[in-house]
Structure 1
């Protein structure tokens, strides 16, 4: 894998002239025999396929942060509103050199472009397909938008598709091809060749280093699991005592069926009526259960973008709702604007809206007064789900749970995982009006919360002083970690947030977030690349969980090595892949076929261009 060189760009410009000027007549032939345009200087990415060291073809991807599309030359934003979408990517000038036409090169480039868009959080693809090749693009899952444009002697269909639709089609249509290529394909992109398993992507890749089969549990002491937001501190002493007292009895004994004792303990600790509480085995259990009860495919949901991914997964992939997103970004410090959100709710006719406060993964927080103002402006027909998984780090007095008891369209979800160091126990609760809670409890399976979890949660709630001290200590550790990371790379932007993590946006021109994460894993330090969550991260943002002083020191050391170590043969990235994605113009990615493309036996119809 290499960064862009003049030779790379020169070859691309020469092939573009050869195909689009000399062969197709889209552009006039010029004496320099080179063809390029303004987008080449606006942050486009080229993916390049080679065979035996010889360039075989390329495809260009224009991300939304480039601020301009090739399609802008032909259509207005009114004619094609998708051009205004913050999560749309334009795939263009798919080009295969003549010796490699009739092989798998075009298919592989299209697939690589899809994986790159997925890895940067893209949700929609736009493209111009040559009219005579529309069937090839249709087979890939693209559909005409109804717009046709003419450029020189070439007619193009403007096409579009949801990324999820393309990914599903690719898995079904090209799985056999990808399997046949196997080891013969030298994949050098900074994302895995294949996406992960079905379901919402979460942190916790650190178990790759420990072993999900639990045969190497000693490795837990060697791995720094900063890619998932588990507490750095142990549970309260009383929790450890009760769990150690009689573990054999804990393991073999059925718990109280409805966890009524735990529910009463939460009610007493929080000053809430027990009848307003619904318990679950972690917040994800409650999200799946409540959303599937309240929503249908006809429902409309409003989410902040970016925010905790489970909400979009359940709403779109599990239920199939229409989901709109209110984007936030680095320009506004990843903060949620209450007026914008209230305006969107007022005009959107939504069944459900979700606010994670403090927000994960960005760390921004709306103060209690601002949230009260928002609640007062939520339409009565819209249910507002407030996720307070990290509210303890801001102060327990910031919780809005008491308001949820009074208003039937407000629900507050509280996880005990992160604040109480009980992630392995899986305990959470919803606070709502009593009618809503009663209905949800009818959908709660018996023994939903295990006996060890009930015992641990009760003991934790009985020691508020211990946890208040740990939350205060977390703030200090977070500040020290942020200061140390800034000293390593002053050009990186660090959002200290208010919870138990930091948001680090890497500077342009250096390694991508995926590459830094992969390099840190060489040192058994696991960080979270946020790129697939949202285009707002531009492939350059990492989330780092706060650990104890020793763990934070290892994070800083690994981060320093990741930013200063040459890429070598890029062996540290997923699937042996790596790249530099500086966000600067035209950085090249390469996928080397080394003869594998022809062996794959795919024969697309003359995929010369777009």
Structure 2
């Protein structure tokens, strides 16, 4: 089975991280370092922020959930975009908060409409860049203008799960923004470009007051010893990260070009996936499964005619394109 459904790194786990995790298992009889000291040291050095600005999570999804629990009381509002990551609504629900879903613009965030949706009881806004599942990207200048406009009592969570896949010309200084805005929380993960999805490790970066609140809510031993050790090693493995970026850029272009040749519409993506319009999504999904290929249904996003395809190895990308050629309905 070729699995291109979960936006995982097709290279898998870097060997450096595998060795570090295996070595760390020798101490698995003891509880993990609840503060993640070694990893926070490494992250602080890489990001040029104090250790006290870091919150570790079981994947960045836990950071999203913690943010809702910390920022929004029951009945208060959480704002996010239509087609935003499904966990945003789940996080709001877990906090018994009220979700305000702002209609998308060209499948991406409408920042002006999101700003207009912020009311007196709004306490949290989720913004993903790039966005999952659509792959859409917000320019740094537009994001900065938005941050400047948000009231200081409203926390903005900038979800950068796919930031390592951005082209150099797309990148912006979100760590500089954290220094400037006490109400900004940036969430990142080791699950995507770093290849550690199965170890469940992510982190948040925010100023000390917000970080303290997040860490007070965070489960004490939420990130295991092997995961912390693997993340330290992966963070230092710049060759692996560069290889992941290059493979993804080439594979994303391969998929985009192939879909265009098949006359299947796709959304330009800045992540490690593409969203393709295939007709009846469930029918095509079932046909692909029968051909030994799994991609992601998007019914739960209100996108029943689209499938999300993770960028794989070149031969995997070729296989899904061939299967779509054989099994997609005539257009």
Would you say same fold, with TM above 0.5?
yes
Aligned 1:164-203 pairs, distance under 5 A: none
Structure 1: segments with no counterpart, 5+ residues: 1-222, 566-581, 583-610
Relative to structure 1, the CA distance from residue 286 to residue 336 in structure 2 (aligned partners, 3 Å threshold; closer, same or farther) is: closer
Give, in angstroms, the shift of residue 421 of structure 1: 0.7
Give, in angstroms, the shift of residue 250 of structure 1: 5.0
What residue number does 1:468 align with? 242
1:358 is aligned to 2:136: no
| One of 100, 114, 134 as aligned partner of 1:341 | 114
| TM-score in terms of structure 2 length | 0.92
Give, in angstroms, the shift of residue 348 of structure 1: 6.2
Corresponding residue SS for 2:122: coil
Corresponding residue SS for 1:398: coil
Instruction: List per-residue Cα deviations over 1:42-80 (Å, max 9, x = no partner).
Output: xxxxxxxxxxxxxxxxxxxxxxxxxxxxxxxxxxxxxxx
Relative to structure 1, the CA distance from residue 257 to residue 517 in structure 2 (aligned partners, 3 Å threshold; closer, same or farther) is: same
Give, in angstroms, the shift of residue 335 of structure 1: 3.0
1:236 is aligned to 2:14: yes
Contact map agreement 2:136 2:268 (CA 8 A) in 1: no
1:504 is aligned to 2:276: yes
Contact map agreement 2:71 2:155 (CA 8 A) in 1: no
| TM-score in terms of structure 1 length | 0.51
What residue number does 1:557 align with? 322
Give, in angstroms, the shift of residue 399 of structure 1: 4.9
Considering only CA atoms, is the larger Rg found in Structure 1 or Structure 2?
A: 1
Contact map agreement 1:427 1:453 (CA 8 A) in 2: yes
Relative to structure 1, the CA distance from residue 433 to residue 292 in structure 2 (aligned partners, 3 Å threshold; closer, same or farther) is: same
Aligned 1:494-533 pairs, distance under 5 A: 494-506=266-278, 511-533=279-301
| One of 520, 529, 545 as aligned partner of 2:310 | 545
Q: Distance in 2 between matches of 1:441 and 1:236?
A: 29
| One of 198, 211, 216 as aligned partner of 1:437 | 211
Aligned 1:362-373 pairs, distance under 5 A: 362-373=134-145
Structure 2: segments with no counterpart, 5+ residues: none
What residue number does 1:454 align with? 228
RMSD after superposition: 2.1
Q: Distance in 1 between matches of 2:34 and 2:110?
A: 42
Contact map agreement 2:84 2:133 (CA 8 A) in 1: yes
Corresponding residue SS for 1:496: coil
Contact map agreement 1:258 1:448 (CA 8 A) in 2: no
Corresponding residue SS for 1:342: helix
What residue number does 2:46 align with? 269
Q: Distance in 2 between matches of 1:431 and 1:564?
A: 45
Give, in angstroms, the shift of residue 469 of structure 1: 3.1
What residue number does 2:260 align with? 486
Corresponding residue SS for 1:473: helix
Contact map agreement 2:64 2:88 (CA 8 A) in 1: yes
What residue number does 1:57 align with? none
Q: Distance in 1 between matches of 2:121 and 2:73?
A: 15
Relative to structure 1, the CA distance from residue 285 to residue 240 in structure 2 (aligned partners, 3 Å threshold; closer, same or farther) is: same
Instruction: List per-residue Cα deviations over 1:21-42 (Å, max 9, x = no partner).
Output: xxxxxxxxxxxxxxxxxxxxxx
Aligned 1:26-45 pairs, distance under 5 A: none
Give, in angstroms, the shift of residue 241 of structure 1: 2.7
Give, in angstroms, the shift of residue 564 of structure 1: 5.3
| One of 162, 182, 185 as aligned partner of 1:390 | 162
Q: Distance in 1 between matches of 2:126 and 2:88?
A: 8
